Structure formats: structure tokens, C-alpha cells
Structure 1
Amino acid sequence: MSSFLVAVNAVVPFLIYISFGYGVRRSGLADETFLGRLNQLVFKAFFPILMFNNLYKIETGFTLNPKLVVFAVAGILILQVVLLLTVPRLVRENPKRGVIIQAIYRSNFVLFGIPLTASIYGAGGTTLASMMIAIVIPIYNVTAVFILELFRGGKPRPAVLLKNVCTNPLILGAAAGFVAFILGLRLPACVEKPVGQFADLTTPLALFVLGGTMHFSSIRGNARYLVPALAVKLVLLPAVIFALALALGFDSLERFVLFTMFATPIAASSYSMAENMGGDGELAGEFVVLSTAVSVITIFLWVFVLREMGLVG
């Protein structure tokens, strides 16, 4: 019963936020245009505050395990190589190849990683999740450009890639928070409080928007791509990563952060990138919608099983 309640408490808030957004859009209180603009606002204004706040609040003496960083980065890159060698053999159309590869390796770690970790490990767990996000997001973004360009037949420009990474709002927010931590800078109480409140608002608002932009009407036509890719993404891959993390001796929190990197649904930004870089935008959007819906179930089951086995929490 304890493990069941932990799993419920970890997942149900996501379901409520997403369902509320979906219901508001279906009721006509908010349209696609409004939700699209709100999505941009969350990404460019709220997420940087969240990243800043999580790193700003790091307790003195916190250290990041170098082995964890190496494992996370190597895991992403090795997975990409495996996918680049296998997906083109199974899928004929270039626009779909890049989208499927991106769907399997690229998780919505930003949106799901921090609240999931906080729900099980408390506020202390969000620090590690935030630092790993700052490391992983640039890798996701840069490699996604290379992969989509590869199957479009283009050639990525290093200057553009560098600019995109350096101007990413999440990276800027994380960098500001890290600088404040290193220098020991403290905000006045009258500023620190609203910063924390804005940070707390970010996840519910982002999930509300995600729910409001979900559509299920055209998924059936691409089921032959969606089902196997999501089975790998949400079931097989988390199992392999968690088993490796356990074998390599990572502690409970580190294992769970690695788990959330690979077991969470597909990043919403993968749709816009595919749409603007010659990928199959319809398929990319369906991956985002279906993975988000299915992950509510798979994450619940993963948390319940791992908690019952005493491997997390």
C-alpha cells in the first residue's frame, strides 16, 4: 500500500494538470492560438526562473558525481548511434527516420524530471535533477539538429548550433543560478519570495498548456511506427538504463534521476523542430501526444514496482 500511494502521489498531479488543460481547451475557454502563445511564455519566461531557483538554492557542500554525468552523456550518445544504425534499416522514409530517432532518445526531462524527483525525494532531489537538466538539454538540442539535418540532406552550421545553445532560456536560467551559487549571492527576501513562487507555478502551468494542445484524432494511421517506438521508449529503455545504473553502484536518487531522463514522455519541442526541419511533423506531434498520455500509466507502474523492490525512495 505504501508503494502504491507513492506511485499515485507521483503521477496523479500530472494527470490532473494535463486533463484540466485538455478540458479547458475542449470547453472553448482557451483556443490553440492562446495556448501556443502561453507555451512560448512558459518556455521563455517561467522555465528560466525555475532553473535559476533550483540551482540558486543549492546547499553549500553539494557535489555532482562525475560518474553520473559521464554515464548520462554516454548513454544518450550511444543510444543515438544505435538508433542511427537500426532505424534506417526498418523505416524507408527519411522524414520519418529522424522523427523516430528523436522520439526514442529525447525525453521531456525538463517538464517531468524535477516534479517527479521532488515527489519522491523532496526538495533536495530537485537540485540534482536541475543540474542534470542543464547538462542534458544542450546535448538533446544540438544532436537533434544534426539528426534531422542528416535525414533532410542538409549540413548543420556550427555557429548556428552554438548560438542556439547559448541563447536557450533554460541554459541561461541555469547559468545564472549556478553563478549565484558559486559567488554566494543572496537575493533580498522581498525578491527571493516571488522568484520561488514563480518557480512553483512553472510546472503546473506548463502541464496545463501541454494538456490543452493534445489531439488524438490522427494517431491510428501511424500506429505501426508509434507502438514499437513507444514500447522501446517507455518500457525497454528505462529497464536497461536502470539495470545498468544499479549495476554501476549509483545511489537511489542518482538512479531515479537517470530513470526520469529516459522514461519520461517525448519533449514537446521535438514537434516544432521536426516541423521546421523537414521531418514528418504530424508523426512527431502524435509521438508527443501519445507518449504523454501513455507515460502517466507507465511511470506509475515503474514507480510502484521500483518502490516495492526497495530500489527508489
Structure 2
Amino acid sequence: MLDILAITTPIFLLMGIGYVARWGGIIQREQLQGVGVFVLYCALPALVIRALTQQPLSDIFQPSYLLAYGLGSLFVLCAGLVLCWKLQRQPLNASAMQALGMTASNSGFVGYPVAAMVIGSPAAVLLALNMLVENLLIIPAALILAEMGNQQGSNVWQTLRQTARNLAKNPLLIGLTVGVVIAGTGIDMPLPIEKAIHMLAEAAGPAALFVIGGSLFGLRAQGMMRDVGQIVVGKLLLHPLAILVACLLVPSIEPVYMAGALLFAAAPMISIYPLLGQRYHLGDVSAAAMLVATVASFFTLSLLIWLMTLSDLVAF
């Protein structure tokens, strides 16, 4: 319990600093948005590049794990879309963002520290694998659907072309492409560039959490409980359950990697989720869902670790 607190408490403190800064008038909404732009266009791409270039791709590529984590995550993404778009008749862009919140974990700032504490060094390999799934499959799929929702009423091919143009400018995908190219070719980055990328990557987590905390100031929860509740339940309960089933169905996954997959899946959504939500008119819902999921994940992660200990999947 104390170990979990040691991981989650700094997250709450950074969010709290952002909230207090907005409450005290130290930073204004427009300035906060500027910090968000820095995270989205500078710090986050650097984080992706660093994660993909720390080890050769051949060392981190495990097809069975990628298949299981990818299938489980894709199932939750599709389930979220069916619930929000088809059953609740919400707009496609809002539905895609809600489905993304149910599926894309905060692998770097919550999942990895928890997994490293429980399973040790394999957590670093799983972090890289999960980022491949999230950045190559889940996030692009959700962004494509959200962009298509924004372009409704246009010709299908025009929509696809506009979506492709917008995605080509997406800093997350640009960073992913750069990271894959560097890791795949074995290019050695000049030391000053490598240090600059490292410094930007280190800033991604604190700055994103600061923005999240500041964006919660003045938030009204009326009328959002249904959307927030289903995003949080989908992320903290459905996603780990789907990953568990996928790991059991896909052969050749070692128990330690199964345990790590469950821990990553049980983490709250990516820290830039509210920033992405703002782009598709879901800023308040995504920020509230991030807050509720982060608080609730303290209890759900503790419960998951206890259950894995009982089942001998992990041992302390």
C-alpha cells in the first residue's frame, strides 16, 4: 500500500499544483493552453522517440505479446465505439475520444512505475511494446475516427484525404515515425540532440499533469456523470479483463509478461487525454474522467496486485 502511495502521490501533487495555479490566478487559461501545446508538440514526441531508441527493435519485438495486448485493446476500443456511437447515438468524434479513454493507458507515468515495482526489469520491455500498440494502432485509429467525425457531410474520399493530412501533421505520429526509423536503422544520434530529446521527454509527464490539474479548475460535473462513469469503468475494469482473456487465448506468453500486461492495462488513461479531448470538443469530460480514473486506480491497482499475488502470478 505504501509503495503504491509513493507512486500515485506525486501524480496528485502535480495535478494539484496546476489546479492551485489556476485558482490563485498565477496562470491564466490561455497560458495553460500554451503549456499544453508544448507537451503535445515537443515533449510527448520526444518521449516516444526516447522510448523507441533505448533498445534495438529486435530486442523488444515479441509477436505473441503484441498480438494479445493489441487484440485486447482493439476489442475495448470497438466496444466503446459501439456503446457511444451506435447505442447512445453520440457524435463519432466524441465517441472515438471516449473509446480512446477506455483503451489507451498511461503506460509511461503510471503503468511502468507500478509494473517495475511488481515484476522488475521486464517492465521496461513491456513499456516499449505497449507504446508500439498504443501509438501504431489504438491512438491512430481513434484519431482517424475522430477526424472523420469532424469532416462529416463531405465526400468519403475527401474525408479520408483530409484525415490523412491532419494525421500527417500529428506530432505524436511524427515522433513515432522518427523513433522507428532511428531504432530500425541503428543511427546514432549526436549527443547534444540525444540530451535535448531526453530533457524534453523528462518534461512531458510533469507538464501534462500540470495542464490536467489546471484544466480541472472551474469544471462543472453536471450532465457528465454517464460519460465519465463509462469511460472510467471501461478503462479500469473492462480493459484489464479484455487483456487477461487475450493473454489466455494467445499462446507462448510468459506469466511475468501476462502480469505486466494486466498492470499496464489497469493504469488510468494517457496523461494527454484531456488535451486530445479538447481538440474534439470533449475537454471537460476527458479531464473529469482522467481525474476520477487516476483516483480510482489507486484502489483498483492495489486490488489487482493482491489478486495476482493470491493466484501466484506474481510473488513478493
Equivalent residue for 2:134, pick from 133, 136, 139: 136
Report which stretch shifted further, 303-312 or 7-16: 303-312
Counterpart position of 1:250: 253
What is the aligned residue count?
A: 306
Give the C-alpha shift of residue 38 in structure 1. Answer: 0.6
Give the C-alpha shift of residue 206 in structure 1. Answer: 1.9
TM-score scaled by structure 2?
A: 0.77
Aligned 8 A contact 2:105 2:266 in 1: yes
Q: Quick one: distance in 2 between partners of 1:159 and 1:116?
A: 40
Which letter does structure 2 place at the counterpart of 1:137?
N
Aligned 8 A contact 1:49 1:195 in 2: yes
Which letter does structure 1 place at the counterpart of 2:165?
K
Counterpart position of 1:10: 7
Aligned 8 A contact 2:102 2:231 in 1: yes
Which letter does structure 2 place at the counterpart of 1:234?
L
Equivalent residue for 1:231, pick from 224, 230, 233: 233
Equivalent residue for 1:302, pick from 301, 304, 311: 304
Corresponding position: 1:265 with 2:269: yes
Which letter does structure 2 place at the counterpart of 1:162?
A
TM-score scaled by structure 1?
A: 0.77
Aligned 8 A contact 1:11 1:300 in 2: no
Report which stretch shifted further, 73-82 or 22-31: 73-82
Equivalent residue for 2:168, pick from 161, 166, 179: 166
Determine helix, strand or coil for the equivalent of 1:30. Answer: coil
Counterpart position of 2:145: 146
Aligned 8 A contact 1:56 1:181 in 2: yes
Give the C-alpha shift of residue 34 in structure 1. Answer: 1.2
Equivalent residue for 1:104, pick from 98, 102, 105: 102
Q: Quick one: distance in 2 between partners of 1:105 and 1:86?
A: 14
Alpha carbons of 1:37 and 1:91: their partners in 2 closer, same or farther (altered >3 Å)? same
Q: Quick one: distance in 2 between partners of 1:289 and 1:263?
A: 12
For residues 77-116 of structure 1, what are the structure 2 equivalents within 5 Å?
77-87=74-84, 90-94=87-91, 100-109=98-107, 112-116=110-114
Aligned 8 A contact 2:107 2:130 in 1: no
Give the C-alpha shift of residue 44 in structure 1. Answer: 0.8
Aligned 8 A contact 1:21 1:208 in 2: yes
Counterpart position of 2:293: 291
Alpha carbons of 1:75 and 1:247: their partners in 2 closer, same or farther (altered >3 Å)? closer
Q: Quick one: distance in 2 between partners of 1:205 and 1:297?
A: 25
